[in-house]
Structure 1
Amino acid sequence: MKKKEPYPFWLGGLAATIAASITHPLDLTKVRLQASGDKRMIESMKKTVRTAGVRGLFDGISGTWMRQMSYSMCRFWAYDESKKILGAGKDAPAWKLAAAGSMAGGIAGLVGNPGEIVMVRLQGDFAKPPEKRFNYKHCFDALFRMVREEGVSSLARGVTPNVFRAILMNASQLASYDFFKAELLKTSYFQDNIMLHFTASFAAGTVATTVCSPADVLKSRIMNASGPGSNSTLGVIRASMKADGPMFMFKGWVPAWTRLQPTTILIFLTLEQLKNGVDWTRSKGYTVL
């Protein structure tokens, strides 16, 4: 039997970009809740529409695309490669999948950090007073200005919580999706179809939101800050604990879940359909890069 060819390495990044584009308004609101004084999701969205129009809900979308085509593309590729290294096959135990996800998250967190900063700054800009805004035109303008105005080291701002969050995200989201998918297939209620993909991704989204919330809040607060000493993780934790108490780590959980849940579902449903499309084109004799 002929060995099945691997899927294109960029497939995961494309699926994530499509999903993130659809859910961008929710991601934008989550970042503004975490990094600003906004208190409630609906009120924050209304404030955005009131001050910038409906188009304002898509502020910073170029940063989202940059982030997905760097971080997400890398994490899906690295996850598949890590599973090969660890021998995590179809029915691999949860710990092997989580280990592969952690390895992938560490790599992707480093590679995607500049894109992550650009995305957070573009999304959070209009929540700030006019005099404190970065006023970047688009993702490349943000990248070049950061290097020019703050130095190359600015691209590593918040890298520790970002890598930590990426490890948690991949260990919880990618690994739990594969785990739930394999476990559900063992029952008599599911077959490998869209219902299975929806159920497994729904469970994975809830797990990932809860596991990643503390690191996600820290990442947003550090990356959205500017000035000397503002990128200290311990400094941000102390200031946040003093201002909001220990529950600051779960601030924005509801909008985070509301954003991550459909994003997770859309990512995996899109990815599975893209894989089906690749399989179909190959069956017809076409070559997919």
Structure 2
Amino acid sequence: MSAPSSTTPIQDPLVAPKVAPAKKKPYPFWLGGVAATIAASITHPLDLTKVRLQASGDKRMIESIKKTVRTAGVRGLFDGISGTWMRQMSYSMCRFWAYDESKKILGAGKDAPAWKLAAAGSMAGGIAGFIGNPGEIVMVRLQGDFAKPPEKRFNYKHCFDALFRMVREEGFSSLGRGVTPNVFRAILMNASQLASYDFFKAELLKTQYFEDNIACHFTASFAAGTVATTVCSPADVLKSRIMNASGPGSNSTLGVIRASMKNEGPMFMFKGWLPAWTRLQPTTILIFLTLEQLKNGVDWTRSKGYDFL
């Protein structure tokens, strides 16, 4: 009888076999949409002011806010908030889900290089920008309505009324108005905001000054908000102007660019940058702080044996 092979491992009966750690259950896909909706509700007055600066004759942020309060009262600062909710629960929910899925496809793990994160963000932005375009139009129109003369207002009652009337009065194709600059902006936004947050967070955690806590999340989101505002400003201005238009042929991207360049010069692309930064900065911070806390809440409920999240 031949002796046992020396390469055959011998299992000690007194030592328990190693068990591979259980794979962590993914977070609910809708967490990003809920976090974005909470953040956007808080910063809605600033977003309203940004849209009115971009799409109307208002010149300065403070004057625009005063005009809104003077003509519609404090409640006027929350004009069109139902459109904001519709937009966040379509566009934002989709982009966070698609970003996580895109990172899996590209193999962008915890310490992934910036280009992989940006590529995943771009993929997510393209998908979310297309799917969320109707909600984006509704939000822009509801926010910009009271900045127009009475005879040019849409006078939508709420987000669903806006959606149904658009299809009935302008045709189903109206839901695709401004989809090109919106998708382009969504690609830029996700490549700059989501990707830069992950990048800055990973870099901060490599230092001795930060741990995975609120201070780290705040710093990373502050940097991400500034990057995203600057990168997205040109597409954001075009999107607002095209979506807020209603005349025939007014949805031409090149036509809007030519007219704006002729009347205002190239700096029109950064019109409303300060209110955009003032709005996007706290929104970005609130989104990621809220998202991180929602994830902590999911982890806590699961640790207590509750698997409904």
CA–CA distance in structure 2, aligned partners of residues 243 and 129 of structure 1: 21
Aligned to 2:210: 190
SS in 2 for 1:229: coil
Equivalent of 2:67 in 47, 66, 69: 47
TM value normalised by structure 2: 0.93
1:287 CA drift (Å) = 1.7
CA–CA distance in structure 2, aligned partners of residues 108 and 240 of structure 1: 27
Confirm or deny that 1:165 pairs with 2:185. yes
1:134 CA drift (Å) = 0.2
Contact 1:158 1:222 in 2 (8 A): yes
Contact 1:213 1:249 in 2 (8 A): yes
CA–CA distance in structure 2, aligned partners of residues 288 and 121 of structure 1: 37
Aligned to 2:240: 220
Aligned to 2:288: 268
Contact 1:10 1:73 in 2 (8 A): yes
CA–CA distance in structure 1, aligned partners of residues 147 and 306 of structure 2: 48
1:158 CA drift (Å) = 0.1
CA–CA distance in structure 2, aligned partners of residues 273 and 41 of structure 1: 32
Contact 1:121 1:223 in 2 (8 A): yes
Contact 1:205 1:257 in 2 (8 A): yes
CA–CA distance in structure 1, aligned partners of residues 154 and 262 of structure 2: 27
CA–CA distance in structure 1, aligned partners of residues 308 and 133 of structure 2: 29
In the TM superposition, what whole-angstrom CA distance separates every residue of 1:243-278 from its partner, at most 9, and x where no partner exists? 111000000000000000000000000000000000
Contact 1:8 1:288 in 2 (8 A): no
Higher Cα Rg, which structure: 2
CA–CA distance in structure 2, aligned partners of residues 128 and 5 of structure 1: 49
In the TM superposition, what whole-angstrom CA distance separates every residue of 1:18-51 from its partner, at most 9, and x where no partner exists? 0000000000000000000000000000000000
CA–CA distance in structure 2, aligned partners of residues 288 and 23 of structure 1: 30
Q: How many residues align?
A: 287
Aligned to 2:110: 90
1:181 CA drift (Å) = 0.2
CA–CA distance in structure 2, aligned partners of residues 106 and 177 of structure 1: 19
In the TM superposition, what whole-angstrom CA distance separates every residue of 1:70-118 from its partner, at most 9, and x where no partner exists? 0000000000000000000000000000000000000000000000000
1:242 CA drift (Å) = 1.1
Percent identity, aligned pairs only, is 94
1:147 CA drift (Å) = 0.1
CA–CA distance in structure 1, aligned partners of residues 244 and 144 of structure 2: 7
Aligned to 1:25: 45
CA–CA distance in structure 2, aligned partners of residues 42 and 7 of structure 1: 40
| Larger CA deviation: 235-244 vs 217-226 | 235-244
1:60 CA drift (Å) = 0.1
CA–CA distance in structure 1, aligned partners of residues 189 and 305 of structure 2: 37
1:288 CA drift (Å) = 3.0
CA–CA distance in structure 2, aligned partners of residues 34 and 227 of structure 1: 18
More helix by share: 1
SS in 1 for 2:111: coil
Contact 1:109 1:167 in 2 (8 A): yes
SS in 1 for 2:85: helix
Confirm or deny that 1:123 pairs with 2:139. no
SS in 2 for 1:191: coil
In the TM superposition, what whole-angstrom CA distance separates every residue of 1:188-207 from its partner, at most 9, and x where no partner exists? 00000000000000000000
CA–CA distance in structure 1, aligned partners of residues 307 and 262 of structure 2: 58
User: What runs of 5+ residues in structure 2 fail to find an aligned partner?
Assistant: 1-22
Contact 1:33 1:40 in 2 (8 A): yes
SS in 2 for 1:234: helix
CA–CA distance in structure 2, aligned partners of residues 288 and 138 of structure 1: 32
Contact 1:90 1:182 in 2 (8 A): yes
Contact 1:278 1:288 in 2 (8 A): no
CA–CA distance in structure 2, aligned partners of residues 206 and 250 of structure 1: 14
CA–CA distance in structure 1, aligned partners of residues 76 and 214 of structure 2: 33
CA–CA distance in structure 1, aligned partners of residues 36 and 171 of structure 2: 30
In the TM superposition, what whole-angstrom CA distance separates every residue of 1:43-66 from its partner, at most 9, and x where no partner exists? 000000000000000000000000
CA–CA distance in structure 2, aligned partners of residues 274 and 46 of structure 1: 35
CA–CA distance in structure 1, aligned partners of residues 124 and 32 of structure 2: 13
Contact 1:109 1:159 in 2 (8 A): yes
In the TM superposition, what whole-angstrom CA distance separates every residue of 1:168-192 from its partner, at most 9, and x where no partner exists? 0000000000000000000000000
